[in-house]
């Protein structure tokens, strides 16, 4: 895997497709097909960045690759990063040094499948998930209950259980609840929990991945 032509990595701003330098377009496409076809559940409807160092890929080649990803895999290419050959590749760089401001702009353009609306409380032992987008819950999520979404999670009640947003690695996903006193929060691969004995604060809160690669929670005023 480490020496393969393309790699998929999750960063704070979402998924990155990293292309090995000095490989021809046909080889890149074959490698992309191999990588994406082997994924279960399939990666679809999400946005990705393409990272490439100096390579023989021309801008026409890039266009073709983008079209290929969009048409065959329903992926949206939200940016192309051209990296200097001498610069450390983002794979080697520790994620913490990979500085990305909370980037909402890119997501505004991203249609994210359909949101799932749940019209009841998620009780202990119950799970609800939406792997094609966001979830909105008209009720509470009680301790022992679990919500998983590939997009955002919005709870119009009290979140007391577990919530996992950005389940496919979209780190710009957020969790919003009228009262946020969860057992555990997860965004992408980051997990956090509130301090023991946390009391409801009485106002809506939002959880997101902050600059230090930790999930931060703050009062939700506006997006």
Partner 1 sequence: MGKVIVITSGKGGVGKTTSTANLGTALAMIGKTVVIIDADVGLRNLDVVMGLESRVVYTSMDVIEKRCELEKALVKDRRVEDLFLLAASQRNRKDDIKPEQMLEICERLKEIYDFVLIDSPAGIEQGFHNAAAGADEAIIVTTPDVSAIRDADRIIGLLQNLDIEQITLVLNRLSPTLVKKGNMISKNDVLDILNIDLLGIVPEDPDVIASTNRGVPLVHNNGSPGAEAYMRIARRMIGQRIPIPEMRDDNFFSNILQWFSRNK
Distance CA 57, CA 40 (A): 29
Q: What share of the chain is helix, strand, coil (3-state, %, to 5)?
A: 15, 35, 50
Cβ 175 to partner 1 shortest distance, Å: 19
Strand, helix or coil at 218? strand
Q: Which of 34, 72, 125, 189 lies at the binding interface for partner 1 (CB under 8 A)?
A: 125
What distance lies between CA 125 and its chain's CA centroid?
Answer: 25
Which residues inside 160-199 make contact with partner 1, applying CB under 8 A?
160
Is there binding between residue 158 and partner 1 (CB under 8 A)? yes
Q: Does 146 bind partner 1 (CB under 8 A)?
A: no
Pairing of strands 76-83, 47-53: parallel
By CB under 8 A, residue 140 contacts partner 1: yes
Per CB under 8 A, the list member of 126, 129, 184, 192 interacting with partner 1 is 126
Q: Determine which residue in the list 143, 189, 201, 218 makes contact with partner 1, applying CB under 8 A.
A: 143
| Residues 84-123 interacting with partner 1 (rule: CB under 8 A) | 120-121, 123
Q: Mapping DSSP to helix (H, G, I), strand (E, B) and coil, where does residue 37 land? A: helix
C-alpha–C-alpha distance, residues 1 and 117, integer Å = 38
For residues 147 and 171, which CB has a smaller minimum distance to partner 1 in the complex?
147
**Strand, coil or helix: 96:** helix
* Closer CB to partner 1, 95 or 144, in the complex: 144
Cβ count within 10 A of residue 140: 21
Closest CB to partner 1 among 4 and 127? 127
Which residues of this protein are in contact with partner 1, per CB under 8 A?
120-121, 123-126, 140, 142-144, 158, 160
């Amino acid at each position: 895997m480490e020496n393969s032509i393309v790699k998929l990595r999750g960063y704070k701003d979402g998924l990155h497709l990293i292309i090995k330098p000095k490989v021809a377009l046909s080889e890149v496409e074959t490698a992309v097909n191999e990588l994406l076809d082997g994924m279960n559940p399939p990666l679809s409807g999400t946005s990705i960045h393409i990272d490439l160092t100096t390579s023989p890929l021309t801008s026409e080649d890039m266009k073709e690759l983008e079209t290929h990803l969009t048409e065959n895999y329903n992926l949206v290419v939200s940016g192309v990063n051209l990296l200097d050959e001498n610069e450390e590749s983002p794979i080697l760089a520790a994620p913490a040094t990979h500085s990305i401001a909370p980037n909402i702009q890119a997501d505004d353009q991203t249609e994210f499948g359909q949101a799932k609306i749940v019209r009841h409380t998620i009780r202990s032992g119950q799970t609800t998930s939406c792997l094609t987008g966001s979830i909105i819950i008209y009720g509470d999520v009680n301790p022992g209950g679990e919500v998983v979404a590939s997009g955002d999670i919005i709870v119009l009640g009290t979140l007391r259980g577990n919530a996992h947003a950005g389940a496919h690695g979209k780190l710009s996903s957020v969790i919003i609840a009228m009262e946020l006193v969860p057992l555990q929060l997860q965004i992408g691969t980051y997990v956090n929990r509130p301090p023991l004995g946390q009391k409801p604060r009485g106002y809506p809160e939002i959880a997101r991945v902050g600059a230090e690669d930790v999930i931060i929670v703050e009062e939700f005023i506006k997006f």
